[in-house]
Amino acid sequence: MLAQLLAQPVEEWRYPHRLALEEALRCSRVDAEEVARRLTDAGREMSGPFNALCFRLCLGTGDEAWLNRFVELARVPLDGGERSTEGAWLHPRGRHGPGHAILIDSFQEEASRVVKLAWLARRGELSDPPFPPAELEARAVEQFRIHREILRDPQTGLWSNGRGWIEGDPESLSPGFWSRGHGWLLRGLSDSIELLPDGEQRDMLVAMVHEIAAALMEVRGDDGMWRALLAAGPEESPPESSGSAMITSALLRAVRGGFLPSRTYEGPLLATAAVLLRDYLSEDGIVLGACPGPGPLISMEAYLSPAQFPPGEPHGLAAFSILGAVLHGCIPAESPGGFPAQRHPGDQALF
């Protein structure tokens, strides 16, 4: 898959391709200098939504230009921007009309970028951080708390994909519970936990992972897969490979970091990984069964049976790249993207 991606013209790289490259850089499977050169030569944006490729490039190349661009992106929600009445960072509604709305996909990336910014500041990499590291970390963790209060369903423990996307009803939550949305959410939580110092902020995010993991295992199918719409029955919504891969990857990272009990989770998660690699990856490296992005989830229709997802969806490439990095042990401890401490806080309630 990685060879196919690198063979594509840079002009064809969308944000899922950049996310795949971010994961490849995380475990040194591609040359950072070569990726940086190709992006620069093509005049491409250093990063896009839902990925932190420029963070990996600044670490991999030492080039200050990548660091400066990452800092610029990470500061966006800190330097202003629209917020909900609860204080949640908002995303432009774009083609859905004027104004802003809540979106899991964007907030998890913005929050984890702020944690990365704090990590760089603690290392002395920033000459003028916008806030002290502890305040940056507190602001990022607060966004996870606020979004949990708004989006989490108290009965199932699952999160809606957003709020404010339904035309004419700005207070409505997105319908259903989208599989890949939970993959995004867990990705942001994992990236943040890995770089936070020990303490209350980190423990709160770990407790969220416990809570979400338990809810997800309740809706995991007998075939080991998660449906496109998590709370739908096996006959109502088809299995979806990108969400299943992202969920599996993030929870395996938590198991290997000591934040989820292996006796409960490791066996089922490895079983899901085996199903994904056996049934949803072709011999020539094409990912099957990954759904296109809905943007914000405003309708469940495209994710209800007998919906089928065409092969080669770029989100599948990104999700399987993340899964491959975890399965091959490419996320070492004591480094960015690895768990600095092996400890298990238990199932403490922090909410």
Q: What is the pLDDT of residues 203-251, one digit of tens each?
A: 999 999 999 999 999 999 999 999 999 999 889 999 999 999 999 999 9
Report the percent of the chain where pLDDT is more than 90.
73
Distance, in Å, from the CA atom of 265 to the CA atom of 252, rounded to the nearest integer, reads: 8
Which residues lie across from 149 on neighbouring strands? none
Mean pLDDT across 150-159? 98
Interatomic CA distance for residues 313 and 318, integer angstroms: 9
Contact (Cβ atoms closer than 8 angstroms) between residue 311 and residue 287: yes
CB 208 within 8 A of CB 196: no
Task: Report the pLDDT value the prediction gives residue 337, as an integer from 0 to 100.
Answer: 41
DSSP 59-116: HHH--HHHHHHHHHHHHTTTS---B-TT--B-EE-GGG-SSEEEEHHHHHHHHHHHHH
pLDDT of residue 331: 55
- Delineate the domains of the chain, giving CATH numbers in brackets: 1-75 (no CATH), 80-327 (1.50.10.10)
Mean pLDDT of the chain: 90
Q: Is the pLDDT of residue 329 over 80?
A: no
Question: For tokens 């919504």, what's the residue?
Answer: 237
Query: Which class for 158: exposed (0-12), middle (13-18), buried (19 or more C-beta within 10 A)?
Result: buried
Which band of pLDDT confidence, cut at 50, 70 and 90, is reported for residue 6? confident
pLDDT score, position 3: 84
Cα torsion 210, 216, 220, 225: sign: negative
Using DSSP bridges, classify how beta strands 91-92 and 100-103 pair: parallel, antiparallel or unpaired: antiparallel
Higher pLDDT, 332 or 191: 191
The reported pLDDT for the residue numbered 15 is 86
Q: Count CB neighbours of 105 within 10 A.
A: 25
DSSP classification of residue 303: G
314 pLDDT exceeds 70? yes
Query: Contact at 8 Å (CB) between 248 and 314?
Result: no
Higher pLDDT, 157 or 299: 157
pLDDT on residue 198:
95
The string of DSSP letters for 153-222 reads -TTT--B-SEES-STT-TTPBPSS-BHHHHHHHHHHHHHHHHHSPSSHHHHHHHHHHHHHHHHHHHT--T
The neighbouring-strand residues paired with 91 are 101
Classify 332 as helix, strand or coil.
Answer: coil
Q: Distance between CA 58 and CA 9 in Å, rounded? A: 22
pLDDT at 338 over 50: no
Q: What pLDDT shows up at residue 12? A: 87
Nearest to 145 by CA among 345, 343, 350: 350
- The model carries a pTM of 0.92
With 90 as the cut, is the pLDDT of residue 163 above it? yes
Residue 343 confidence (pLDDT): 38
Higher-confidence residue of 327 and 334: namely 327
Each residue of 88-121: pLDDT tens digit?
999 999 888 899 999 999 999 999 999 999 999 9
pLDDT of residue 127: 87
Residue 347 confidence (pLDDT): 41
DSSP 197-215: PSSHHHHHHHHHHHHHHHH
With a cut of 50, say whether residue 341 has pLDDT above it: no
Average pLDDT over residues 197-205: 96
Closest CA to 32 of 8, 1, 67, 4: 67
Q: What is the pLDDT of residue 300?
A: 93
